[in-house]
Amino acid sequence: MTHKLWLNPFSGISGDMFLGALLDLGAPLDDVRAAVASTGLTGWSLDAQRVTRAGISATRAVVTVEDTATERRAAELLAHIEGSPDATLAAAAVRAIAEVEAAIHGSDPAEVHLHEIGGLDTVVDTVGVAAALRLLDVTEVGSGPLALGTGTVETRHGTLPLPAPATAALLASAGAPVTGAGEGETVTPTGAALLVAARTTFGPVPAMTLHRVGYGAGGRDPAGRANVLQALIGEPLAASAGMTLLETNVDDVTGEVLGHLVERLLAAGAGDAWLTPIVMKKGRPAHTVHVLAAPEHAAACERIVLAETGSLGIRRSHVDRLALPRHHTTVQVDGHEIRVKHGPWGAKPEHDDVAAAAAALGLPLREVARRAVGGQESHFPAL
């Protein structure tokens, strides 16, 4: 079962707050430790402490390392991370930091030195969060606005503004909504980079069946405000009501571009995208581009349509959509794997798998499809 995760960073976010919230949601601590250990990193520990912040019971992820140096080349951290099965997200977070630091200092991302965030605890935080997301079967991460503190911070380079330049650049790259949170650092570069790496979408709580609520504690306990990261996890609701239909008419776009457009829209999360041939005024042949998208994907799909077609406008309408329950299985046809989609009243094999098997076996498509959904082998001759 896949899950959606929604974060409420009303007091900000850091790597350890993110990890603490995921542990509080039920990510197994021993399994997270095992994921970090798989990097080959030594001289570290990860513990989960129950603490209270402004009356809220929360989990604080406590990371300690024997090597307390805080300055390293980003490449050194990546060398540790790449040994982990959760390297993709964790490495993406470190690379995101390296890229913004390189842009700020005018250097090469491959050679950039991370100063205050170059410690080995960054490896534990990033790999730990990546592992915890996997263990909780989280496939989508969302977030509300981030509370962003201001002021100054002392660094190796001297006194710098808050939010730290790397943090500000990372949040800007993600288009993150922010709100003021008074004085002090509330969002760290690691916390911001993990949001970027997880491809976080920003907006209200998504449609889901809420399962659990967790709280990850920060190290400080300021008076009058709970220094915690709230995290909600749940099962996505089946698509039903609330779909957005986007449409535009185009008469000057080639078939190749329209085919590419449909592929881009589906990759961007559209529930469906299709084309209808039409005749416009003065007998001009044209097409209507149709896109069916969930509300959280509609804006991105709209931008893609306008950018790819050059259209000067688009129609939006609300439609209801009933989605019946379905599941997938994989079957073998003469040694070839074929995915099959099952609904309440039938089953259908995936065309690409059927086509590949048919070509390899020298059989008609319909025969391979029939075998995939449980038919008995017939006596079709090889083509």
As given in the structure block, the two tokens for residue 315 are 């129609």
8 A C-beta contact, residue 79 and residue 96: no
Output the pLDDT for position 29.
Answer: 98
Read off the pLDDT of each residue in 207-235 and give the average, rounded to a whole number.
Answer: 94
pLDDT score, position 256: 95
Confidence of residue 241 (pLDDT cuts 50, 70, 90): low
Whether pLDDT at 239 is above 70: no
d(CA 32, CA 130): 9
**pLDDT reported for residue 378:** 44
Find out whether 309 and 261 touch, Cβ atoms under 8 Å.
yes
The distance in angstroms from the start CA to the end CA of the chain is: 42
Lowest mean pLDDT among 49-53, 274-278, 330-334: 330-334
Paired strand residues for 279: 285
Q: How confident is the model at residue 383 (pLDDT cuts 50, 70, 90)?
A: low
Give strand pairing partners of 234: 4, 210
Residue 131: CB atoms within 10 A of its CB come to 26
- Write down the pLDDT at residue 156: 73
In the predicted structure, residue 33 carries a pLDDT above the cut 60? yes
The pLDDT score that the predictor gives to residue 238 is: 62
How far apart, in whole angstroms, are the C-alpha atoms of residue 23 and residue 39?
Answer: 20
Interval 293-318 mean pLDDT: 94
Three-class secondary structure of residue 282 per DSSP: helix
- Residues of the chain above pLDDT 70, percent: 95
- Per-residue pLDDT averaged across 332-351, rounded? 90
pLDDT at 381: 53
**What residue spans define the domains of the chain?**
3-236, 243-319, 327-372
Residue with tokens 């989990």: 59
- Distance (Å, rounded) from C-alpha 342 to C-alpha 37? 40
Burial of 5 (0-12, 13-18, 19+ CB in 10 A): buried
Mean pLDDT of 237-252: 82
| pLDDT at residue 380 in the model | 47
Provide mean pLDDT across the span 161-184. 93
pLDDT of 192 higher than 70: yes
* 381 contact partners, CB below 8 Å, separation of at least 6: none
CATH number of the domain at 243-319, out of 3.40.980.10, 3.30.70.1380, 3.30.70.270, 3.40.640.10? 3.30.70.1380
Q: What is the rounded CA–CA span in Å between residue 40 and residue 80?
A: 7
Q: Which two tokens stand for residue 97?
A: 């930091």
As a whole number, mean pLDDT of residues 95-124 equals 81
| Per-residue pLDDT band at 182 (split at 50, 70, 90) | confident
Q: Which amino acid is at 352?
A: D
Per-residue burial over 239-269, b = 16 or more CB atoms within 10 Å of its CB, e = otherwise: eeeebbbbebbbeebeeeeeeebbebbeeee
> What are the distances in angstroms from CA 248 to CA 89, 97, 271, 304?
37, 39, 17, 12
What pLDDT does residue 115 have?
63
Instruction: For residue 39, report the phi and psi dihedrals to the nearest 5 degrees.
Output: -75, -15
The yes-or-no verdict on residue 379 having pLDDT over 90 is no
Q: Distance (Å, rounded) from C-alpha 141 to C-alpha 199?
A: 7
Out of 233-237, 239-243, 245-249, 321-325, least confident range: 239-243
- pLDDT tens digits for range 112-163: 767 666 689 999 999 999 999 999 999 999 999 999 999 998 877 789 899 9
What are 341's strand-pairing partners? Answer: 328, 348
Sheet containing strand 3-8, strands side by side: 44-53, 56-65, 208-217, 228-236, 3-8, 138-143, 201-202
Question: What pLDDT is stored for residue 186 in this prediction?
Answer: 96
Q: Regarding predicted confidence, which is higher, 74 or 375? A: 74
For residues 137 and 324, the model is more confident at 137
How would residue 382 be classed by pLDDT, with cut points 50, 70 and 90?
Answer: low
Contact of 382 with 357, CB cutoff 8 Å: no
Q: Tell me how long the chain is.
A: 383
Amino acid letter, residue 373: V
Token pair recorded at residue 195:
């949001």
Burial of 158 (0-12, 13-18, 19+ CB in 10 A): exposed
**What is the per-residue pLDDT for 15?**
96
Q: Classify the phi-psi angles of 232: left when phi > 0, otherwise alpha if psi is within -120 to 50, otherwise beta.
A: beta
